[in-house]
Amino acid sequence: MASIKKILIGKPLSSADEQHQRLSRVIALPVFASDAISSTAYATDEVMAVLLLQAGIGAIAFRTLVPIAIIVCVLMAIVVTSYRQTIMAYPSGGGAYIVSRENLGTIPSLVAGSSLLVDYILTVAVSVAGGVLAIRTAVGFDHKWTVPVCLLCVFIMTVMNLRGVKESGAAFAGPTYFYIIMLIMLICTGLYRIFVQHVGPIPVDLLSPEAQELRDGAKSLGLMMLLRAFSSGAVALSGVEAVSNGVPAFRKPESKNAAITLMWMGGILGTCFFGVSVLASHLKPFRGEADGNGLGLMAEYLYGGKGVLFWMTMIATFLILILAANTAYADFPRLASIIAKDDFLPRQFFNRGARLVFSNGVLFLAIVSSILIVAFDGDISKLIPLYAFGVFTGFTLSQTGMVRHHLRLREPHWQIALAVNAVGAVTTGLIAVIVVVSKFTEGAWIPAFLIPFMVLTFRAIGRHYARGRKVVKAEPGFWPSRETHTMVVLVGGINKGVLQGLQYAKSLNPDRLVALTVVSSPEEQAQLQEQWDSYNIPLELTFEFSEFRELTNPVMRFLDELDSLYSDDIITVVIPEFVTSWKTQWLHNGSAFALKARLLHRPHTAVVSVPVHMHHGVIEEG
């Protein structure tokens, strides 16, 4: 296992190398912005999916695209500005969680933390599903391969991120910039052909029968459907908070570099999302559920078929959607470590792995997101409704926390910053309500239920750690009282392991030494007693009878009897165990593991394993 681990993730890095793993702005952009930038590949599609598939309003749907895009871009500017303030005010990272903790209290901070963690898990599932959909659009492979290909992508992303943030960022930087170039090229080509060459919408005969049927829809657009479409388009903001969560990953000066990267991301995201929406409003890429993504349909039409530029665009789209998951891989483990440091998550999430990454968080993220992909059959349209609620809940709490921050500190120009955050908090809060109401039956109820459940779980974990600290706290002057010591050596038969266990126990000079064996018949007891006497062992062998040939309960019963005899006693149970190679260890009786698991929870009881090592059929003594 050590060899496989070394091959997959590389040699361990020392703690002194942590500074050298920091990210430059050029590498940090694809690491932290790939999620946000990737939303340009599907956010417009999701708006159209609501208007065409659910509302059924037909060609009129494309008239709403540009107005929705403008509103989303304005909202994006507010959120980006707000998070820039967050980066400067809280350079330790943690984003909405830290802002809420410092300004709103424990419960709001746990809500923000839960929302972000749910968002990152869904980011992996949505991004990978979207990437696989893009490649299906290009090559048309059978849907039955969707889930296996998604899981393979998750595995590759997991391995790359276990190798380290810097190494994964360097590996994924090229595809991210490649997508940005190809998308800008598509937008510029489309705008030129539409406004200079006066190219019209995609002809009807190029549409699939399902898309033609959607084109002829004539239902009226209700307010609820309009709000649902807007909330679907607002997923373009997902990932905007990622930079504020990962400020410590930047090179010094961390805050300045993070703020510049955030502004780069906002500019690219806003420009590309608006550009794609303008193209779609003119080209009208009607698409049924089996038609692939709209970006691919527009690229095929603008480039005159599935030529080189089309394939470059689709490969770039596939790569950015897959790599969008890298943002979650960068931020989920880091945020989980901060929450774990505050004692609201298991402390294993706080530990760094061999490559200085929070590897437990990386693995947990991969497992849960894979379960989601399998559960929802790798269908991005089924996953998107789960997505936006957590995003905007985190936005709302972050900006509300910044409002409190400005009111509390009243730094220079605080009134302007306060106004920006207040507008952002109200707007994103309203969108969170719209999402959960309009998409409740489509799956938005899941995060709406899951986030409060996670908050309750986090608080329970926090109470557990608080009780633990209280129990083990040693007041000044405390010293444990003297206890008598009984050692119980378990005997399964007379062999070198048992004799070594007896010798070990005797060498510690306990107050009492007991040799205990468990038998299931008088014949077995007589045979073992005869064997014991033949070795002239100067110690009485104590027998416990087990009618059902079971080891653990008779031993526990005997220890309870000792406790009743000696109230100030600590008991050490000595278990002789044979140890061999991993190939044959499973051949030996595993009852010792079950017994040790029970004894671990028994007060005033210690367990000692005396190993008897076997190599090439020879027992090593001592």
Helix (H) or strand (E) holding 512: strand 512-519
- Could you tell me the end-to-end alpha-carbon distance of the chain, in angstroms, rounded to an integer? 28
The pLDDT value given to residue 38: 83
Residue 620 has, within 13 A of its CA and on its CB side, a CA count of: 9
| Among the listed residues 432, 435, 405, 428, the one whose alpha carbon sits nearest the alpha carbon of residue 418 | 405
Q: C-alpha dihedral over 116, 118, 121, 125, to 10 degrees?
A: -120
Encode burial over 27-66: b for 16+ CB neighbours within 10 A, e otherwise.
Answer: bbbbbbbbbbbbbbbbbbbbbbbbbbeebbbbeebbebbe
Q: What's the CA gap between 432 and 444, in Å, rounded?
A: 10
Burial environment of residue 205 by CB neighbours within 10 A (0 to 12, 13 to 18, 19 or more)? exposed
Which pair of tokens denotes residue 533? 């006497």
Residues 253-281: tens digit of each pLDDT: 888 999 999 999 999 999 999 999 999 88
Residues 391-423: tens digit of each pLDDT: 888 889 988 999 999 998 888 888 888 998 898
What's the pLDDT band for 317 if we cut at 50, 70, 90?
A: confident
Which pair of tokens denotes residue 538? 């100067």
Q: What's the CA gap between 440 and 385, in Å, rounded?
A: 8
Q: What's the CA gap between 212 and 190, in Å, rounded?
A: 22
Which pair of tokens denotes residue 309? 């530029």
What's the pLDDT band for 304 if we cut at 50, 70, 90?
A: confident
Give the mean pLDDT of 571-590.
76
**Which domains, and CATH codes, for the chain?**
2-14+22-465 (1.20.1740.10), 484-619 (3.40.50.620)
What's the pLDDT band for 13 if we cut at 50, 70, 90?
A: low
Q: Is the pLDDT of residue 621 over 50?
A: no
What's the pLDDT band for 607 if we cut at 50, 70, 90?
A: very high
Q: Give the residue, 548 or 67, on which the prediction is more confident.
A: 67
Residues 182-226: tens digit of each pLDDT: 999 999 999 999 999 988 887 876 666 666 666 666 576 777 777
Q: Is the pLDDT of residue 510 over 80?
A: yes
Q: What's the CA gap between 5 and 528, in Å, rounded?
A: 47
The pLDDT value given to residue 184: 94
Q: What's the CA gap between 168 and 31, in Å, rounded?
A: 8
What percent of the chain has a predicted confidence (pLDDT) above 70?
86
Eight-class DSSP state of 252: S
Q: Are strands 484-490 and 512-519 parallel, antiparallel or unpaired?
A: parallel
Helix (H) or strand (E) holding 618: strand 618-619
* DSSP helix/strand/coil, 179: helix
Q: Is the pLDDT of residue 2 over 90?
A: no
The pLDDT value given to residue 28: 85
Q: Is the pLDDT of residue 480 over 50?
A: yes
Residues 73-103: tens digit of each pLDDT: 988 888 888 888 888 888 877 778 888 999 9
- Is this structure's pTM higher than 0.85? no
Q: Residue 29: CB partners within 8 Å, gap ≥ 6?
A: 173, 176, 261, 264, 265
